[in-house]
Amino acid sequence: MKQDMIVILDLGSEKNPQIAREIRALGVYTEIHPHDITEQELAALPGVKGIILNGGPNRVVDGVEIDASEAVYKANVPVLLVDHKGNAPWPKDEAERKESLRRFVFDQCGAEANWNMENFIADQVELIRRQVGDGKVLLALSGGVDSSVVAALLIKAIGKQLTCVHVNHGLLRQGEPEQVVEVFRHQMDANLVYVDAVDRFLDKLAGVADPEQKRKIIGGEFIRVFEEEARKLDGIRFLGQGTIYPDIIESGTKTVKAVKSHHNVGGLPEDLDFELVEPLKMLFKDEVRACGVALGLPDSMVYRQPFPGPGLGVRCLGAITRDRLEAVRASDAILREEFAKNGLEGKVWQYFTAIPDIKSVGVRDGKRADEWPVIIRAVNTVDAMTATVEDVPFALLQHITYRITHEVKGVNRVLYDLTPKPTGTIEWE
């Protein structure tokens, strides 16, 4: 293995992710594992130079104060006890903690600062090959950051043993399905099954106005299409997943309750019994992006803004119709083009258009005509729990308004949503 590792064992601290980030900032790779890791599991981790038993306020699980197994204390590497068995917690000062981490990691453990993407990729390639052998792996490739990066990593590790399935449900942004085919089939020479399921999704969604119902239909139909494709392929034992570390944190650990349940391709029938391959599961989002860049993925894929799973389906408000869906897609493309041209692309966290299911009267070619309004939303946030509205220059909003009302069929007005979250949410549905 190319990189050294410090293992953090979760003994009820809320600071596990923070400590992990601070050790990685020192240039040393680190992974967080549950307190009850077995001797065998610990021995199987590559390059371990030291262990931190990270105690904290969530130390009581099911009424019992937790501890690590004896084997951990007897491991052949230095062990640091923090806020556990009477040992002091981390120093409160951000600088002092860093110094104590630095002393442990470098002076006591003798770790080298060799955590970088090149070494991470080299190690993961080896681990994937070890796990998969000559088996076959299936991956649902949406074109989002996480699935794209995991696809690129799996292609590097096992090439044609990987089959990617891209389901085009008709609710993606302009150019996205084409980019997936171009990058993965043509540039990376991957086995890519492209499924045109547009009619199937839109037929199922016809007349459905309730947002939660729409989400259920889109999610459920996605599983069914993916399952059908999986059954057509022979001898697949593994399922690749773009799980990343925040997904795991939000799903809860043994000591911290779930914030929300995480599912990438959850809900597959049990007879499709796959073993998971999740090579990004210890990476934070910015590290996933760095990994994508190192693997040669285009910036437009790696740095793309968050996009909801149900896609444009929740931005074509109310019952989806094909003409309004096309108007959402076209107006979104204009907004993205103008934000990119005007230096807002990497600056604004999320921006998009939505079209309500109403018409208002306007003037088109000298005649009164009823057409839709387009709503522009552009927000900034850290965690999507609250959000503020971007102060987009008025002249730019006027220019975008002109383009949308003149280039997008059926749209005669543009509105800018000035509402922060709360009281609004980021999406309209």
**Cα torsion 303, 308, 311, 314: sign:** negative
State how far the Cα of 218 lies from the Cα of 299, in Å rounded to an integer: 28
- If one asks whether residue 267 binds ligand XMP (CB under 6 A), the answer comes out as no
- If one asks whether residue 310 binds ligand XMP (CB under 6 A), the answer comes out as yes
- If one asks whether residue 112 binds ligand XMP (CB under 6 A), the answer comes out as no
- If one asks whether residue 309 binds ligand XMP (CB under 6 A), the answer comes out as yes
Shortest reach from residue 96's CB to ligand XMP, in Å: 36
Among 269, 306, 346, 393, binds ligand XMP (CB under 6 A): 306
Residue 49 or 304: the one with the smaller Cβ distance to ligand XMP is 304
What would the x/- binding string for ligand XMP be over residues 337 to 356, using CB under 6 A? -------------x------
State how far the Cα of 223 lies from the Cα of 207, in Å rounded to an integer: 21
Among 308, 318, 362, 410, binds ligand XMP (CB under 6 A): 308
Residue 83 or 176: the one with the smaller Cβ distance to ligand XMP is 176
Per-position DSSP letters for 113-170, written without gaps between them: ----HHHHHHHHHHHHHHHHTT-EEEEE--SSHHHHHHHHHHHHHHGGGEEEEEEE-S
Residue 369 or 384: the one with the smaller Cβ distance to ligand XMP is 384
Residue 256 or 426: the one with the smaller Cβ distance to ligand XMP is 426
Q: Are strands 191-196 and 64-65 parallel, antiparallel or unpaired?
A: unpaired
Residue 58 or 381: the one with the smaller Cβ distance to ligand XMP is 381
Q: Which residues pair with 191 in a beta bridge?
A: 163
Q: Under rule CB under 6 A, which residues in 206-235 are in contact with ligand XMP? A: 215
- If one asks whether residue 298 binds ligand XMP (CB under 6 A), the answer comes out as no
Question: Is the Cβ–Cβ distance between 164 and 195 less than 8 Å?
Answer: no
State how far the Cα of 128 lies from the Cα of 45, in Å rounded to an integer: 14
Q: Which helix (H) or strand (E) holds 371?
A: strand 367-380
Q: Are strands 360-364 and 367-380 parallel, antiparallel or unpaired?
A: antiparallel
Q: Tell me, by CB under 6 A, how many residues bind ligand XMP.
A: 11
State how far the Cα of 390 lies from the Cα of 388, in Å rounded to an integer: 7
Shortest reach from residue 426's CB to ligand XMP, in Å: 3
- If one asks whether residue 156 binds ligand XMP (CB under 6 A), the answer comes out as no
- If one asks whether residue 318 binds ligand XMP (CB under 6 A), the answer comes out as no
What would the x/- binding string for ligand XMP be over residues 366 to 405, using CB under 6 A? ------------------x---------------------
Residue 106 or 416: the one with the smaller Cβ distance to ligand XMP is 416
Question: Is the Cβ–Cβ distance between 318 and 392 less than 8 Å?
Answer: no
Look-up of token digits 């307190």: 35
Q: How far apart are the first and last CA of the chain?
A: 47
Shortest reach from residue 409's CB to ligand XMP, in Å: 25
State how far the Cα of 275 lies from the Cα of 137, in Å rounded to an integer: 9
- If one asks whether residue 242 binds ligand XMP (CB under 6 A), the answer comes out as no
Q: Which residues bind ligand XMP (CB under 6 A)?
A: 215, 306, 308-310, 350, 384, 421, 425-427
